Amino acid sequence: MSMQGSTHGTRVSTRRLVHIYRSEGHEVAALSGVDLDVAPGEMVGLLGPSGAGKSTLLSLLAGVFKPSAGKVHVGAIELSQATPRELDEMRAKDVALMLQGASRNLLPYYTPYENVRFAQGAARKTGKDLPEPDEVLAGVGLEAEAHTPLATLTPGHRQLAALAVAMASRPGLLLADEPTSQLDHAARDKVLASIADANRQLGTTVVIVTHDPDVAAFLPRTITIRDGRVGGEGRSGEEYAVVTPDGFLPLPLHVREDLLPGTLVRFHLTDDGYVLIAEEKVDE
Amino acid sequence: MRLRYRPFQAVAIATLAALITACAAFAPMYDRAMRQALTDISIARTPAAVAGLQMTGTTQLGGFTFASHNRTDPPSPEVVADELPEDLRGSYGDPVLGYSALVVSEPGASSDPRGQLIWREGQCEHVTMVEGSCPDAAGEIAISEADAENFGLGAGDTVRVSGIPRDRGERTVVPSVPLVVTGIYEQQRDDYWFGLNLTGLSGVVDSTPPPHVQHDIWLTERGTFDSSEMPPLPNQASTVGYPLNADAVGVDDVLALGDEIERLADDARRDPANGVSIDVYSGLPDIADEIREQTKQSRITVPLLMAQLGLLAVVVLWLVLLAVTEQRRPEVALARLRGRGRQGARRLLLGELLPVTLAGVVPGVLLAVAGVALARTSVLPGSAPFELGVPLVAAVVLAAVVLTSVTVLAVLRVSREPVETLLRRVPPRPTGFALGVAEALVIAGAGSVVVLFATGGLEGPIALAAPGLLAIVVGMVLAHLTTPIAAVAGRRFLRNGRVRAGVSFLDAARSPATRRIVAIVTLASALAVFSADALLVGDRNRASASEQGAGAALVADVVGPDLAAVRNALDEVDPDGELVTPVVRLIPPGKDASSTLAVVPDEFQDIALFPGGAPDPALWDRIAVPEAEPIQITGSSLTVDIDDSTLRSKRLDGEPHPVQLGFDIINERGETLRVLLGELSEPAEHTPVDVPVGCREGCYLTGIWLRTLPGATIDGSATFRNLVGVSDTGDDPVDLGPAYLWAPFDDANDGSVTPISDDPEELTIEVHGNGASELTMSQVWLPGTVPALVAGDLPPGSDDNRFSLVNIDGEESDAARVATLERVPASPTETAVVNLDLVERGSAITSSAVIELWFAEDDDALLADVTAALDEHGVDLSGTTSLAGVRQGYDESTAAWSLQLAALIGAAALVIALLVLVVSAASSWRFRTRDLAALRMSGVPSRSIGAMAVAAQLPAVVVGVAAGALAGLIGARLALPIVPLFAAAPEVSTLDLGTAWGGVVLATLGALVVLGLGSVLIGRALAGRSDIRRLRETL
């Protein structure tokens, strides 16, 4: 399986990113100072419990929300300062957001082919050279279903169609929110493989929100969002804690279970680095 | 492709668009059809003589008189005919040319007949010669059968008539024109004669000075008028009759023709060139005016009704488009996420919705055309051609603009939303009681219009939408309150453990469809109720006006004043007076006087129609005939003794003055005789009286009077005994008592005359006069004052309840208003109703009285029986007026036709509301079935789910119907005063704009049944589709 058309990945970075939801007089901080850097062509997973702020972060990267504070850089654009026209152009050419649930990414009355063509419309107007819809669909293995009504496709094929639509304009950044939810294993693997192909063959930067540990294991780099902050990072199977810009160090979950709040720790410098020593543990 | 995905929505939107277009297109076409129908029936109802054009040419030189001794031939008929402009002739048939003159048979005595002599082109084809032949040479005439009989004329006889006097030197010579009778004609009644009756005057004396006997119209040949061998005849004129070509004259032609004819008539009168005068007469300008007037009315009612329906359809379309655009928010979000921007999102939606909306235009026009075609066949009379004119095109363009605007606005609303909002599954809404800006603006704007209208500060087209706007305000406010109230109620139900009700109410509160349904159901129900009320109020008022105008189911006019013969005939046909009753109508000269209607109360109150309810039956007793025998005197003189008189009269200066006593007697001709019995200067024990009276055929003693000087008092008493009518055949003793046969006179100002007597043979009176010159005590059988039930004001100069009315003898009588009637059927506003049996006493009916027969039923057989009975008594009927005929007159008007639209509007409003329920369900069924499926999954029984699905929508419908009914009622009260109910206001108003409760209740129940049932079925359908599989994501 190969994808026609080339692109280059888009760099993503956030600095002290804060987002607050306001609803019926209440304010909820979804993100409380997130620093994140994703290199061009990198494939990153955003992990974390429900309500941690993963999807909010994804929406901020897509320019759907304006951050309450902080900066978001997607390629050359700083999204908090971007005009609607700049955002439209960015979405047309550079950033694709795959919403959770295949149907939310597809116009229900169109075939996969027509959906891809529709998704390419705005990018084509900017003069971007794009492959034909058939080629895009072939890229995700849907060439046979190009003209099949959506309602008759399997869930896995629909998700592939949604991926094809997201990749239709050959974006530099693919933001995918739970792209494998509600799929069986085979379909999930197929979708992940297609995303990986896009990342590998087109150089597209990929940020995936997922709950699925299997998906997380598939990704070379994962970032765990916890309580609106970056709570940890995994690289090649190794999990790291990440020091926040204001000097806090979120403990990994398994450590938190052991070191209850109030526990006194101290850091000891050794030749291999810092060792954390719990001086006075609090019992449950 | 997109249409196939949501075909029902597309059909619903196109249907609404079609309805809006139909509303817009129907109004001008129906208006046009009404005007055409009105034109047709106006011309058809108008006699040919009135609808056509008649021109009369005469020559009137300055200073010309009958004896000017100059020949003054009028212009020839051809010249007169040419006065009609060429471009107008297409509207008329071929002219009928003619001449006329007024001829006097020689030597011109009052017994020598005079009358019209005419020639009309083609006249011989329109008469039947019963003897001889039609004239075909100058100097020949044909006469009527009546003339032949009355004046002893026959074919071959010669009648000499006078020509115009001519100067012959010093002398004036009146040429004698011999006219030879060639035959006797019988007129064929047809339009050719332009309403001219050739017969009916023969032998009738014309009292116009000098009195003379008349002959019928004589027919002659043209040469009699324009042959140089014939001397000119007096009052010679040429005539032209243009029959209207009704088939060639449409509504626009009538209006234009009316103006042209009016101008022609004015010009002809203003410009009598060379002494030639051409008079133009046509009823067409009046017909045109009537059409214009009724058209004005139709331009109130039709838009009033169609605007409400159009408004409803536009609001519904708006809400439906909001629902469907809301449903497409994810698609809009996708377009935005793919970089298409707001403009691209707009294009996406407009590309789908605008063609669907505009697709409704053509079906809408076809629907309107079909509707008008149906109306033309089922509602409107006449058979004018179907016309599609510029107003239709304008209306369709307007509809297309409105449809496009509504669609664009609905699309704009969604496409402007930020992506963040578009991505939410449920769109954010104002919570609680907060109002959106648009809603607040609509409520404030519509509310202001309603308030302005209600306070009389608004007129014109916008006022016509006031009822609809009121319903919008009520609907929107209610819709706005419903959601938070339902939420509060739902939570309370849940707290109290009533899960099913709680879930239903909360479902209603969170559903965007709830507000929409409340608003639309309110508006549709208001329109249904308003329409039903308007329709029935109009119908009721036309029925009332018809009853008032007709008086009874059938009213026949009797020729002549032979009341006795009429009553005898009626006694034979209907002895109990249950089917037909005589009514005598007296219309006094002068507009201030009350007209008098003499009736038989027991019969009249059952047979006459009283719109708004019959008067209290007890009222009729107040004009009942007194149950007393008359005192009859027969003889050429009478004798009476005046005994025990203590009567004294004292003048202002204290000096005594004689008292005159007398009797009022009515003779057999109904004439009142004032008989002076004598003078009493001082108290006297016995005064015998013997006075002559003309009562050989019998008289009635109707009153005793006393007279003195004005200002002088009278006091005392006297006894009348031994009253005897003396004649050649013998004496006739008459009883004067006892006292109850007399009506005591008692007046606070004038004084009193009181009868006292237990003895039938004598009568004592006690008198107390305060200064009146005359005091009269009436005999009970014939009261001196006629009791009357009076409608309207008493005539000017009436004193309290005392007034004068015209009695059946044509004379003025004193009358007393004993009760008031709101109206008198088939009578002017100011009318006095009296008892026919009472006023007939001692009175002969005047020839100016009009006798009518009022029938309880419009029954041809009964009419035939009565006609036959009358015929046997030598009485004819001249014509009839039926309730149905009067009603037809009111029904065949643009006012009535316009209101009949209300039935259509009400039904259409309910259909539209039903459509909204269905569309709302269709656009939200996925969410709702998923919710219900979730409940099903959590173990809620199917039955409860069904009940919840129904209960989520039904309360909104019920609330909307109730509020709509109220809004419709108030709207009707506001708007009905500006709705024309009649082409012309009836002479006597029976206007009643009170609510037609039957219609209102029926319309409310209809709305409840249609919408409630629809809501239940939709709820059940949703419950039926709430399978657990719905919980899986579906496309």
Which residues in B lie closer than 8 A to residue A122 (C-beta atoms)? 338-341, 344
Q: What is the mean pLDDT of residues B571-588?
A: 91
Shortest distance, CA B954 to any CA of chain A (angstroms): 29
Q: Tell me whether residues A169 and B4 touch, CB distance under 8 A.
A: no
| CA separation for the pair B420, B785 (Å, rounded) | 94
Supply the mean pLDDT for chain B. Answer: 84
Confidence of residue B1023 (pLDDT cuts 50, 70, 90): confident
Strand A43-47, strand A205-209: pairing: parallel
Does the structure show a pLDDT above 80 at B588? no
| CA separation for the pair B859, B871 (Å, rounded) | 18
Confidence of residue B1035 (pLDDT cuts 50, 70, 90): very low
- pLDDT digit string, tens, across residues A41-58: 999 999 888 888 888 899
Q: Tell me whether residues B331 and A103 touch, CB distance under 8 A.
A: no
Which residues in A lie closer than 8 A to residue B423 (C-beta atoms)? 59, 64, 99
**Residue A194, CA distances (Å) to A11, A159, A198, B846 in order:** 21, 11, 6, 115
Shortest distance, CA A234 to any CA of chain B (angstroms): 30
Query: If DSSP codes are grouped into helix, strand and coil, which group holds residue A100?
Result: coil
Cα B94 to its chain centre, rounded Å, is 37
pLDDT of residue B62: 47
Find tokens 């029938």 and name the residue. B855
Which residues in A lie closer than 8 A to residue B336 (C-beta atoms)? 88, 91
Question: What is the DSSP secondary structure assignment for residue A283, as one 8-state letter?
Answer: P
Confidence of residue B826 (pLDDT cuts 50, 70, 90): very high
Give A213-217's long-range contacts (Cβ < 8 A, gap of 24+): A214/A188, A215/A45, A215/A180, A215/A188, A216/A45, A216/A47
pLDDT of residue B420: 82
Shortest distance, CA A179 to any CA of chain B (angstroms): 14
pLDDT of residue A228: 84
Alpha helices, DSSP H, located in B244-283: 251-270
Confidence of residue B855 (pLDDT cuts 50, 70, 90): very high
Taking the Cβ of residue A29 and every Cβ of chain B, the question of whether any pair is shorter than 8 Å is answered with no
pLDDT of residue A38: 93
| CA separation for the pair A56, B808 (Å, rounded) | 102
Q: What is the mean pLDDT of residues B490-507?
A: 82
A63-77, A110-124, B753-767, B944-958: the lowest-pLDDT one: B944-958
* Residue B678: φ, ψ to 5°: 155, -175
Q: Tell me whether residues A101 and B1033 touch, CB distance under 8 A.
A: yes
Q: Tell me whether residues B330 and A85 touch, CB distance under 8 A.
A: no
Cα A209 to its chain centre, rounded Å, is 5
Shortest distance, CA A151 to any CA of chain B (angstroms): 6
Q: Which of residues 123-182 of A touch B (CB under 8 A)?
A: 123, 150-151, 155, 158, 165, 168-169, 182
Contacts (Cβ under 8 Å, ≥6 apart) of B338: A91, A92, A118, A119, A121, A122, A165, A168, A169
User: Which CATH architecture describes the domain A12-236?
Assistant: 3-Layer(aba) Sandwich (3.40)
Other beta carbons within 10 Å of B275: 14
pLDDT of residue A72: 93
Which residues in A lie closer than 8 A to residue B340 (C-beta atoms)? 88, 92, 121-122
Q: Tell me whether residues B340 and A92 touch, CB distance under 8 A.
A: yes
- pLDDT digit string, tens, across residues A8-37: 789 999 998 999 987 656 788 888 888 899
Which residues in B lie closer than 8 A to residue A99 (C-beta atoms)? 337, 423
Q: Which of residues 3-32 of B touch A (CB under 8 A)?
A: 4-6
What chain A residue is nearest to B419 in terms of C-alpha separation? Answer: A64
Q: A102, A181 in Cβ contact below 8 A?
A: no
| CA separation for the pair B700, B476 (Å, rounded) | 80
A138-152, A194-208, B314-328, B1004-1018: the lowest-pLDDT one: B314-328
Taking the Cβ of residue B336 and every Cβ of chain A, the question of whether any pair is shorter than 8 Å is answered with yes
Considering only the beta carbons, identify the residue of B2, B331, B337 that sits closest to A97. B337
Considering only the beta carbons, identify the residue of A59, A103, A114 that sits closest to B1035. A103
A89-103, A169-183, B52-66, B914-928: the lowest-pLDDT one: B52-66
Does the structure show a pLDDT above 60 at A81? yes
Six-digit token string for B769: 């006069």
* Residue B180: φ, ψ to 5°: -100, 125
| CA separation for the pair B462, B575 (Å, rounded) | 60
pLDDT of residue B846: 80
Q: What is the mean pLDDT of residues B907-912?
A: 86
Q: Which of residues 385-444 of B touch A (CB under 8 A)?
A: 419-420, 423, 431
CA-based nearest residue to B816, from B832, B799, B801, B834 = B801
pLDDT of residue B391: 83
Q: Tell me whether residues A104 and B431 touch, CB distance under 8 A.
A: no
Does the structure show a pLDDT above 90 at B251? no
Question: What is the DSSP secondary structure assignment for residue A81, as one 8-state letter?
Answer: G
Cβ-in-10-Å burial (0-12, 13-18, 19+) of B62 comes to: exposed
Confidence of residue B534 (pLDDT cuts 50, 70, 90): confident
What chain B residue is nearest to A169 in terms of C-alpha separation? Answer: B338
Which residues in A lie closer than 8 A to residue B334 (C-beta atoms)? 104-107
Other beta carbons within 10 Å of B208: 7
Shortest distance, CA B31 to any CA of chain A (angstroms): 44
Cβ-in-10-Å burial (0-12, 13-18, 19+) of B82 comes to: middle
What chain A residue is nearest to B349 in terms of C-alpha separation? Answer: A107
More confident residue, B411 or B7: B411
Which of the residues A58, A105, A107 would you substitute to probe the B interface, choosing the one with the greatest number of B C-beta atoms within 10 Å? A107
Taking the Cβ of residue B49 and every Cβ of chain A, the question of whether any pair is shorter than 8 Å is answered with no
Six-digit token string for B438: 């648009």
Q: DSSP letters of B480-546? A: HHHHHHHHHHHHHHHHTT-HHHHHHHHHHHH-HHHHHHHHHHHHHHHHHHHHHHHHHHHHHHHHHHH
Q: What is the mean pLDDT of residues B224-250?
A: 85
Q: Tell me whether residues B341 and A151 touch, CB distance under 8 A.
A: no
Which residues in A lie closer than 8 A to residue B4 (C-beta atoms)? 109
| CA separation for the pair A32, A17 (Å, rounded) | 7
| CA separation for the pair A151, B1034 (Å, rounded) | 8
Question: What is the DSSP secondary structure assignment for residue B800, as one 8-state letter?
Answer: T
Q: B209, B125 in Cβ contact below 8 A?
A: no
Q: A41, A219 in Cβ contact below 8 A?
A: no
What chain B residue is nearest to A121 in terms of C-alpha separation? Answer: B340
Confidence of residue B584 (pLDDT cuts 50, 70, 90): very high
Predicted ipTM of the assembly = 0.87
Taking the Cβ of residue A121 and every Cβ of chain B, the question of whether any pair is shorter than 8 Å is answered with yes
Which of the residues B337, B349, B352, B1031 would you substitute to probe the A interface, choosing the one with the greatest number of A C-beta atoms within 10 Å? B337
Does the structure show a pLDDT above 90 at B765? yes
Query: If DSSP codes are grouped into helix, strand and coil, which group holds residue B662?
Result: strand
**How many percent of chain B have pLDDT more than 70?**
91
Taking the Cβ of residue A227 and every Cβ of chain B, the question of whether any pair is shorter than 8 Å is answered with no
Other beta carbons within 10 Å of B334: 26
> What's at B672, amino acid-wise?
T
| CA separation for the pair B773, A252 (Å, rounded) | 131
Which residues in A lie closer than 8 A to residue B335 (C-beta atoms)? 118
Q: Tell me whether residues B341 and A150 touch, CB distance under 8 A.
A: no
Domain B631-779 has CATH 2.60.60: yes
Cα B78 to its chain centre, rounded Å, is 43
Which of the residues A118, A126, A152, A154 would you substitute to probe the B interface, choosing the one with the greatest number of B C-beta atoms within 10 Å? A118
Does the structure show a pLDDT above 60 at B573? yes
| CA separation for the pair B367, B399 (Å, rounded) | 14
pLDDT of residue B364: 93
What chain A residue is nearest to B430 in terms of C-alpha separation? Answer: A24
Which residues in B lie closer than 8 A to residue A104 (C-beta atoms)? 330, 333-334
More confident residue, B486 or B364: B364
What chain B residue is nearest to A162 in terms of C-alpha separation? Answer: B334
- pLDDT digit string, tens, across residues B418-439: 888 888 766 665 545 455 556 6
Shortest distance, CA A254 to any CA of chain B (angstroms): 35
Which of the residues A109, A152, A173, A175 would you substitute to probe the B interface, choosing the one with the greatest number of B C-beta atoms within 10 Å? A109
Q: DSSP letters of A228-258? A: TEEEEEEETTEEE----TTS--PPPHHHHTT
- Give B417's strand partners: none
Q: Tell me whether residues A109 and B6 touch, CB distance under 8 A.
A: yes
Look at phi and psi of residue B322 and say left if phi exceeds 0, alpha if psi is from -120 to 50, else beta: alpha
Maximum distance among all Cα pairs of chain A, rounded to whole angstroms: 66
Which residues in B lie closer than 8 A to residue A178 (C-beta atoms)? none
Q: Tell me whether residues A24 and B5 touch, CB distance under 8 A.
A: no
pLDDT of residue B231: 83
**Residue A71, CA distances (Å) to A13, A59, B35 in order:** 8, 14, 73
Does the structure show a pLDDT above 80 at B496? yes
Give the number of residues written for chain B. 1035
CB pairs under 8 A between A and B: 75
| CA separation for the pair B782, A222 (Å, rounded) | 122
| CA separation for the pair B145, B216 (Å, rounded) | 9
* Residue B384: φ, ψ to 5°: -70, 155
Q: Tell me whether residues B5 and A109 touch, CB distance under 8 A.
A: yes
| CA separation for the pair B175, B233 (Å, rounded) | 9
Does the structure show a pLDDT above 50 at B621? yes
| CA separation for the pair B36, A134 (Å, rounded) | 64
* Residue A70: φ, ψ to 5°: 90, 180
| CA separation for the pair A163, A181 (Å, rounded) | 13
Q: Tell me whether residues A89 and B339 touch, CB distance under 8 A.
A: yes
Q: B798, B790 in Cβ contact below 8 A?
A: no
- pLDDT digit string, tens, across residues B44-90: 878 888 888 888 888 765 444 444 445 567 788 898 888 888 888 88
Which of the residues B327, B332, B338 would you substitute to probe the A interface, choosing the one with the greatest number of A C-beta atoms within 10 Å? B338
| CA separation for the pair B625, A155 (Å, rounded) | 101
Highest mean pLDDT pick, A161-175, B305-319, B425-439, B784-798: A161-175
Q: B563, B584 in Cβ contact below 8 A?
A: yes
Find tokens 């003396």 and name the residue. B726
Confidence of residue B833 (pLDDT cuts 50, 70, 90): very high
pLDDT of residue B66: 44
